[in-house]
Amino acid sequence: MSHWNDEHASSYDEQWGELNFHQQIPQLAGVQPGFNIVELGCGGGYLSVCLAQSAQHVRVTALDPTPKMIALAKERQDKAGLSNAQLQFFAAGAEALDVSDNTQDLVVAAFSVHHWQNPDKSMALVFSALKPGGKIWLCEDLNAPTEGSLEVHANLKALDGLKSLLQNSGFVQLSHTRHHSHEGDFLIVEALKP
């Protein structure tokens, strides 16, 4: 399910779990009141909380394959006072996304696509989950190292790899930007379900 253990999860969360950039993502991704949102690769849940708090009546379903990450995420949810109606976490990878078809307004995957075990299957599930006109919003750190088993999906951290994955899944109106900050050099890729 996940190649990370509890120690990796805690170490990652301490270093990358609460970036200032996470607080900007709801606005960058265009979150609106009443949105149904899926976050894939939610890690310790800081971005999930930011998404859930970004507008009224937003509902976030957040997945991560590492049980320790989900435990950390639920702690953040409790501290933020968010109910399960607003934010729900599941210990599952992107390839196990299980929401009804045509129900989601937005799918967010920040710094996680290169971790997906089966990118083609995962993106097909994302496409099915989104409403017509729904958006996928992806972000990757262009400077982060890729190591071990992740080298197989290293091309998914690059623009061409992400565009190809999205186009092959049926997405249209692809756009990309780069976001520079002291926290990193981030590639943002967005696309719509027709």
Band of residue 111 on the pLDDT scale cut at 50, 70, 90: confident
Q: In what order do the strands lie in the sheet with 130-141?
A: 87-91, 59-64, 36-40, 104-110, 130-141, 184-192, 172-181
Closest CA to 102 of 176, 38, 189: 38
The reported pLDDT for the residue numbered 180 is: 85
Residue range 6-192 forms a domain whose CATH class is: alpha beta
Reported as a single tens digit per residue, the pLDDT across 143-152 is 765 554 344 3
Length of the chain, please? 194
* Sequence spans of domains, the chain: 6-192
Pairing state between β 184-192 and 172-181: antiparallel
The reported pLDDT for the residue numbered 8 is: 62
Q: What angle do CA 136, 48, 188 make, to 5 degrees?
A: 35
**Burial class, 179, CB count within 10 angstroms (exposed 0-12 / middle 13-18 / buried 19+):** middle
Say if residue 105's pLDDT is above 60. yes
pTM of the complete model: 0.88
**Backbone phi, psi, residue 53, to 5°:** -90, 0
